[in-house]
């Protein structure tokens, strides 16, 4: 499933984060590429492990922890430390599928990549091109969101970034290992959670129907979760 996460970062948070990463030194984006991606990828990336990467990544992780929509959609078990990339002057990332397992450089931290996430850090009016295109169940989706908004999508999806022909596209990207491996099961849980929350808003959290549906949700999560 594809889920947009609006306002993951506020305008002030985006400005502070950009102040950190824009002042840092960037490198060729293929430092994190697999064999397939290296043939398609042409961008710049913030080096892993540097002060700017660590500080900016912590801001993203804090925002994720405070986003009920992200937690409901991803059911995260592990989150790869966020990375940062930028595209300009015709740079693009051709069609590819993300690696099934991601290993953090210089550590034994690894995750199974169930979900991929892009957090947009540049307003769409500031650049031409740079759409994130994702092949989904109902065809290709083209995504270009306001700064601070994010898109969550299956890592198994074929996806690409179109050439940036004006300005600069800046984003954070990373992967999530979900407690629920199956995308279809996550979709059911997400839909049930959202419906239960809407009903709770109408009837109250303690209403018998809300309590019953909450029990169904947790019993399904107990059945399907790896954690």
Sketch the domain layout of the chain as residue ranges: 3-178, 183-224
CA–CA separation, 175 and 115 (whole Å): 6
Per-residue pLDDT, 161: 97
Per-residue pLDDT, 36: 55
Q: What is the pLDDT along the chain (227 residues), one digit of tens a residue?
A: 899 999 999 999 999 999 999 999 999 877 655 555 556 789 999 999 999 999 999 999 999 999 999 999 999 999 999 999 999 999 999 999 999 999 988 888 999 999 999 999 999 999 999 999 999 777 899 999 999 999 999 999 999 999 999 999 999 999 999 999 999 999 999 999 999 999 999 999 999 999 999 999 999 999 999 97
Task: State the CATH architecture for 3-178.
Answer: Sandwich (2.60)
> By CB neighbour count within 10 A (0-12 exposed, 13-18 middle, 19+ buried), where does 19 fall?
exposed
Per-residue pLDDT, 135: 92
Per-residue pLDDT, 213: 96
Per-residue pLDDT, 35: 53
Question: Where would I find the beta strands (DSSP E) of 10-149?
Answer: 27-28, 44-45, 76-79, 83-88, 93-96, 101-103, 110-112, 115-120, 128-129, 132-136, 139-143
Residue 213 CA to its chain's centroid (Å): 28
In contact, 77 and 139? CB cutoff 8 Å:
no
Q: What topology is assigned to 183-224 in CATH?
A: DNA Excision Repair, Uvrb; Chain A (4.10.860)
Q: Where do we find the tokens 């050439």?
A: 163
CA–CA separation, 10 and 16 (whole Å): 10
């Amino acid at each position: 499933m594809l889920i947009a996460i609006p306002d993951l970062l506020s305008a002030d948070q985006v400005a502070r984060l950009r102040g950190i990463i824009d002042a840092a030194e960037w490198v060729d984006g293929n430092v994190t590429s697999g064999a397939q991606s290296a043939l398609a990828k042409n961008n710049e990336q913030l080096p892993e492990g540097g002060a700017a990467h660590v500080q900016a990544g912590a801001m993203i992780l804090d925002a994720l922890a405070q986003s009920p929509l992200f937690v409901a959609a991803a059911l995260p078990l592990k989150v790869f430390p966020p990375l940062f990339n930028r595209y300009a002057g015709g740079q693009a990332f051709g069609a590819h599928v993300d690696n099934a397992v991601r290993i953090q450089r210089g550590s034994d931290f690894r995750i199974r990549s169930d979900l991929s996430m892009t957090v947009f850090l540049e307003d769409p009016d500031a650049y031409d091109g740079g759409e994130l295109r994702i092949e989904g169940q109902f065809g290709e989706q083209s995504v270009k969101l306001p700064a601070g908004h994010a898109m969550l999508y299956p890592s198994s999806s074929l996806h690409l970034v179109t050439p940036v022909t004006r300005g600069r596209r800046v984003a954070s990207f990373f992967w999530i290992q979900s407690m629920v491996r199956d995308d279809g099961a996550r979709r059911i849980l997400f839909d049930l959670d959202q419906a239960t929350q809407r009903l709770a808003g109408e009837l109250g959290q303690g209403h018998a129907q809300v309590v019953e549906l909450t029990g169904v949700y947790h019993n399904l999560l107990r059945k399907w979760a790896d954690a």
